[in-house]
Amino acid sequence: MIPGPFSYHRPASIADAVKLLSTLDEARPLAGGHSLIPMMKLRLSTPEHLIDLHGIDALKGVRRDGDKLIIGAMTTQHDLLESDDIARSMPILHETSLLIADPQVRYMGTIGGNVANGDPGNDMPALMMVLGASYRLQGSGGTRQVAASDFYQGAYFTALEPGELLTEIAIPVPPTGHGYAYQKLKRKIGDYATAAAAVILTMKSGKVATCRISLTNLSETALLAEDAAKAVIGTGLDDAALKKSAAAAQTIMSPAGDGRGPPEYRQHVGGIMVMRALTSAAARAK
């Protein structure tokens, strides 16, 4: 399979990339390319210009900014796994990176591409929602910061305007001693989730003090399950609380039926992922 023809550009700065994206017709940024290139080989995507972002050093790396971690859009899943700061302060990001695709894909796949593509099967959007992250979008008219929870509008539809580039992600560091878990049911290693749930919580005297829950591949976009999180606040995560939370999460799920199973099955296991993630997160909380 050969992609359609295109012109290749390799800018050295964010400003140059934005300029190319906003002035050329049918231009797309090329990050890791492991979603885009397969789509181009199937001719489902036929950009006339590819703007390769690999030459822009300013888009790479993980740094601290006060109580936030700032991750450049071109930071790969492999880079995330190599970061001690992430493993220490945001272990859910480390745990999830290990569940994305396979080693070869993780060397190339970027966090920016993963969150900006709008693919409901990608794992990072739900992670960004549960962590309360925001995205920096740069266009010819300037930059703006958009919360992950406001970014996704539908499958492959996001708040990104034509000509805009997602340049970095700001993630507030969760409190010390927080519990976390990303529970992902998949058919085989490297697969997209049949259903997945992310949980970040804090415990106080055996009860849940704060909690956020998000869901992957159970709707057209990742979802923040706010009622499901409310259902466990103040509880010791007994069976009744877990079931109530799962039921609340299930009311907002609307999964598609595909090779991973019919909607009813995915909704069912989605509830189970929520319960497992809550239990696992609570066991890790200090």
Partner 1 sequence: MAKTHVTMKVNGAEVEGIVEPRTLLVHFIRENLQMTGTHIGCDTTHCGACTVDLNGMSVKSCTVFAVQAEGAEIMTIEGMANADGTLSALQEGFRMMHGLQCGFCTPGMIVRSHRLLQENPNPTEEEIRFGISGNLCRCTGYQNIVKAIQYAAAKINGVEFQEAAE
Verify binding: residue 33, partner 1, rule CB under 8 A.
yes
Among 102, 150, 258, 264, binds partner 1 (CB under 8 A): 102
> Which position has the token pair 């899943």?
77
Among 24, 70, 108, 256, binds partner 1 (CB under 8 A): 108
**C-alpha closest to that of 193 among 108, 107, 101, 279:** 101
In angstroms, how far is CA 6 from the centroid of its own chain?
Answer: 28
Helix runs in 42-133, H state only? 77-82, 84-89, 91-97, 103-108, 111-116, 124-131
Q: Determine contact, residues 235/279, Cβ cutoff 8 Å.
A: no
Of 4 and 175, nearer to partner 1 (C-beta) is: 4
Among 1, 44, 65, 162, binds partner 1 (CB under 8 A): 1
Verify binding: residue 190, partner 1, rule CB under 8 A.
yes
Neighbours of 236 (CB within 10 A): 12
Verify binding: residue 265, partner 1, rule CB under 8 A.
no
Amino acid at 1: M
Verify binding: residue 41, partner 1, rule CB under 8 A.
yes
Verify binding: residue 8, partner 1, rule CB under 8 A.
yes
Verify binding: residue 187, partner 1, rule CB under 8 A.
no
Q: Determine contact, residues 64/85, Cβ cutoff 8 Å.
A: yes
Among 12, 13, 26, 38, binds partner 1 (CB under 8 A): 38
Q: How far is the CB of 108 from partner 1 (least distance, A)?
A: 6
Verify binding: residue 105, partner 1, rule CB under 8 A.
yes
Verify binding: residue 184, partner 1, rule CB under 8 A.
no
Of 5 and 206, nearer to partner 1 (C-beta) is: 5
Sequence-distant (6+) residues with CB within 8 A of 272 are 185, 195, 246
- HSE (CB half, 13 Å, CA atoms) of 281? 36
Residues that bind partner 1 (CB under 8 A): 1-8, 10, 30, 33-34, 37-38, 40-41, 50, 52, 54, 78, 101-105, 107-108, 189-190
